[in-house]
Amino acid sequence: MPNNTSYNTAMTQKRVLIVPGHGGKDKGCISPCGRIVEADYVLEVGKRLADLVGKMEPPSLILGISRMTGDKPHKLSDRVKIAKDFNAHLVVCIHVDSSPAKSAKGQRVYHWPGNSRTERLARRISRCSPMDLDDGGSWVSASERGYPRVSNVLGAYSCDAILVELAFASHAGDVDKMLRGDAIDLLALGILPAILEYPSYG
């Protein structure tokens, strides 16, 4: 006789792809003095997040990561293809921000306008934002405030997609926080609950 529990679990299983930004020659943003290299930093956070989810073995999630090394070059079109081949329900893009405005700091989580699941994810991640990186109201619709670069990324995927800008490489305080010994763990732990909850969002 079929086990109803496992049948239901299989029915609600979601495939989540972690996409650390950049890679190969594309290093992303680099902090003053080169202490943070975005492509390398987001890879470490992405791998830690994958580790944490893997250890928990949640039955309702199948998790993938778009790259495990720093030398694999990915254009946006490559990342979109990886997500498609993975049959992702959700893509979690991880980046580090940079701004000419020296005061810009903190974590931002972008969701797709009108998509309630991604808005919920963004709010959830913002609430878990670690290391005082959340400067308030940090979940942002990709269409707000004119972020064409973010809209281009999120709009390229044909599934749910969010983009987490962990902190600002251009802000000295954020860089110090990102270089703390526990920062990679804390940043991954900040994203983890939202991913675990995602299958329940329907």
Q: Which residue, 21, 59, 15, 48, is CA-closest to 192? A: 48
Q: Which of 16, 18, 19, 28 binds Zn ion (CB under 5 A)?
A: 28
Contact 91, 161 (CB under 8 A): yes
Binding residues with Zn ion: total (CB under 5 A): 3
Relative orientation angle of helices 38-56 and 183-197, to the nearest 10 degrees: 50
In the complex with Zn ion, the residue whose CB is nearer, 14 or 22, is: 22
Binding part of the chain for Zn ion, among 2-10, 72-80, 88-96, 118-126 by CB under 5 A, reads 88-96
Q: Which of 95, 105, 124, 171 binds Zn ion (CB under 5 A)?
A: 95
- d(C-alpha 66, C-alpha 19), whole Å: 5
Q: How far is the CB of 95 from Zn ion (least distance, A)?
A: 3
Q: Which of 20, 21, 46, 190 binds Zn ion (CB under 5 A)?
A: 21
Site residues, Zn ion (CB under 5 A):
21, 28, 95
